[in-house]
Chains A and B, each alone.
Chain A
Amino acid sequence: MPAIIYILIPFLPLAGFVLLGLFGKKYFKSASGWIGTLLMLVSFILAVYVAYDYFSATSIFPRNVPVKYTWLVFSENISIDMGVLQDPISMMMIVVVTFISLMVHIYSLGYMKGEERYPTYYSFLSLFTFSMLGLVLASNLFQTYIFWELVGVSSFLLIGYYYDKPSAVAAAKKAFIVTRFADLGFLIGILVIANTSDTLDYNTLIATLTSTGSEQASSAAASTFLGASALTWGTALIFIGGAGKSAMFPLHIWLPDAMEGPTPVSALIHAATMVVAGVYLVARLFPIFSINTPAVLDIVGWVGAISAVFAAIIACTQTDIKRILAYSTMSQIGYMMFALGVAGYGGESGLGYTASMFHLFTHAMFKALLFLGAGVVIHYVHSNDMKDMGGLRKKMPVTHITFLIACLAIAGIPPFAGFFSKEEILLAAYNGNTIIYWIALITSGLTAFYMFRLYFSIFWNKPYQADHHSGHKSEGGWIMLFPLLVLALGAAGSGFIPFGKYINTDGIPLESHFHLQFSILPVALGLAGIFMAMWLYKKQNNRPEKLAASLNGFYKAAYHKFYIDEIYLFVTKKIIFNLIGRPAAWFDKNVVDGLVNLAGNTTTAVSESIKKLQSGRIQQYAIYFLFGAIGLAILFIYIWK
């Protein structure tokens, strides 16, 4: 296949970005959406073509690098290459990314219509898609980092799209800075890895490090720092980067706030694609994690599990529908993460890996669907708050149905997509780590509960009070509903894809796993959650308040997101600003600058104080003269002989 096709996949969106960014506003303001969408469509088709070509060619999937351009050379072996890495997960990801992006593009045609910065919006979307594609296709660790950062900034741009809204600006900043903080770990991790393995290229990296007895692997394991090997540090640091991007506890605080962006953006970036980049990164380096640094993989598992349950609990208490979805996203990514964490390398033990990727795929479908559906609702209601909604099932039937499908999918009710992927994850966890398995089980119950809490609150509960807004009286027209329908299809049916065949740790296809006895418990828990939600929220009643009151302290803590934000605020404002920044500025102004000024002032002061020397009295001059002469004479006769 010609290289140009690989290149075109990310570059078509880039072209969209440049075109719309530079000229959109002036020349084709209203057409820009269509231009962007069209480019995206082509890109999607190419991606599907490429992926199809790849998956259909053989049954064992090698890592190919069809495109490679040396971008920046550091040393003989270490260089940043821009390339395309072709392997199952990257192929899967480009399809997911282009597909969701295309859906969002289409959806936005309706959702963002009439916005003042419509072309800008599309150019940012294109930029994001480009960056995300670059990220998933990266053939070089550093290339990943580059696009990782670009993804971050496009996320920033899109969260801050409504730039005159202070909360949006703050959210954008927060998202960027928190992920940046995590990226610092990623960066140092890269440095460590590059230094210990003497390459940045994924293929070489994985090959050298995982082959037993390779020079690099042993040297990397040998050099230790604070009791851990260099490689352990490297992968752990890289995982920090991934955790930040994927909003894992405790670096998750930016994700709920990121919902300040337009809803389609949340669907694309903060649900389906960008936030799973962390998972993708760990999956990308999975052989190294698994073979060289299993300890770090344990951490991955625990962080994922904690995030999953933590987010699920918070989600149960929130009222902003987008935030609920955001916490649910975090929770689901937790699933993916711990699935990787509990997985091993090779054969059956690699199930977690497959499951994780599988869940990533299905999650993309139903979570995008949920967001887009929520977008339609918000578009209709002009509010994000659950309290303003209720009884909307009649007003927006299509949305209702698709939303329900998505909720069932995420709750893991068969035969929807989420069921399959989640089952695999639970199975993997069961095989890998029992405690995590139980956590996951509880979480899946919670998931069903809060999703249906959301569902019932929007579409059932109290009857809808209309007329406090004007404008849209419809669901937004076919252009917004079309993506919903397509995604609903995905959410419903993508579970039947035999993922294990394509995506596995060692290239040997995994058989599909389906154990009925094993599925009963999670499905039962899911149903329990649904019924609980139904009981509490289907009709307007005071049961929720009572329940909340009975759980008083815990509820409050969960409602306040366990005060994590406050802790961060304390650390940044009080410690970093007041204890580091302010003293640094003070030190500069007073000590460093003060010393210079002191030198100047001293000179002036000395100059002023010795003015008496020049008294104007000639006899005094003569005395100085005489003493000068005598002094010199004594000096040179007696002292410096």
Chain B
Amino acid sequence: MNGSDIIFYLLAAMTLVCGLLAVTTRHIFRAAVFLLFSLIGVAGIYFWLQYEFIAAVQIVVYAGGIAVLIIFSIFLTQQAGDKLPKQRIDRKIFGALAAFCGFALVMIQVYGHTFFETEEGEVTVSVFNIGKKMLSITDGGYALPFEIISMLLLAAMIGCIVIALRTKKENS
């Protein structure tokens, strides 16, 4: 067990514990913060796996974007200090049961399976490579998905604007 391993376990623990807390705590604001930490934990794992670019994106988009968005929306819709209403216990049990079943099922399959590995050499995951691949239209380049996602973002933007900006008509 070397340092790297320890870091991994710490990150893993942080991710899972924060994730768990994020879905169980009854303080909504705290939940958001736990979520943020969980996401950061995931980013840490990316770092640990030496996928720095992804880790950066994770932090920028998730921590910087989505988490902030969520926190804003919490402010918009809720008094931050309020506790969330309690869920009925039977539903909790059912939810936990369902989640656990799924988890068990997947884990059994995963541990029962021997994954193949490629024999080919590793490509270097650099920002340059990623960028080049992202914009190339040949050699398995990702230009097309890039375009699609841009359309998606456009559509999402339009949708958001229409839906969220209906204030003026509210009186009529």
Contacts and interface: CB of A to CB of B under 8 A. Distances in A.
Chains A and B touch each other in the complex, with CB atoms below 8 Å apart: yes
Contacts of B102: 626, 629-630
Contacts of A630: 98, 101-102, 105
A619 B23 CA distance: 14
Interface in A159-201: none
A500 to B, nearest CB: 107
Nearest to A633: B105
Contacts of B109: 637
Interface in A612-641: 619, 623, 626-627, 629-630, 633-634, 637
Nearest to B95: A623
Contacts of B98: 623, 626-627, 630
B105 to A, nearest CB: 6
Nearest to B94: A623
Nearest to A617: B91
A589 B75 CA distance: 68
A626 B109 CA distance: 17
Interface residues of B, number: 9
A633 B109 CA distance: 11
Contacts of B95: 619, 623
Contacts of B101: 627, 630
Secondary structure class of chain A's binding surface, majority of residues: helix
A630 B94 CA distance: 14
Interface in B64-112: 91, 94-95, 98-99, 101-102, 105, 109
Contact of B105 (A619, A623, A634): A634
A444 B79 CA distance: 122
Interface in B90-140: 91, 94-95, 98-99, 101-102, 105, 109
A627 B94 CA distance: 11
Contacts of A637: 109
A637 B95 CA distance: 23
Contacts of A627: 98, 101
A626 B91 CA distance: 14
A633 B102 CA distance: 10
A240 to B, nearest CB: 78
A534 B101 CA distance: 113
A452 B84 CA distance: 117
A75 B102 CA distance: 76
Nearest to A631: B101
Nearest to B101: A630
A629 B91 CA distance: 19
Nearest to B91: A619
Nearest to A625: B98
A637 B104 CA distance: 14
A248 B94 CA distance: 86
Contacts of B91: 619
A67 B160 CA distance: 100
A636 to B, nearest CB: 12
Contacts of A629: 102
Contacts of B99: 626
A623 B95 CA distance: 7
Nearest to B108: A637
Interface string A100-120: 000000000000000000000
B44 to A, nearest CB: 29
Interface string A508-534: 000000000000000000000000000
A637 B101 CA distance: 14
A627 B95 CA distance: 10
Contacts of A626: 98-99, 102
A626 B102 CA distance: 8
Nearest to B102: A630
A511 to B, nearest CB: 113
A170 B105 CA distance: 83
A634 to B, nearest CB: 7
Contacts of B94: 623
16 contacts: A619-B91, A619-B95, A623-B94, A623-B95, A623-B98, A626-B98, A626-B99, A626-B102, A627-B98, A627-B101, A629-B102, A630-B98, A630-B102, A630-B105, A634-B105, A637-B109
Interface of A: 619, 623, 626-627, 629-630, 633-634, 637
Top 10 closest A-B pairs, CB basis?
A626-B98, A630-B101, A630-B102, A623-B98, A630-B105, A626-B102, A633-B105, A623-B94, A627-B98, A634-B105
Given A619-B91, A626-B99, A637-B109, 14 more contacts: A619-B95, A623-B94, A623-B95, A623-B98, A626-B98, A626-B102, A627-B98, A627-B101, A629-B102, A630-B98, A630-B102, A630-B105, A633-B105, A634-B105
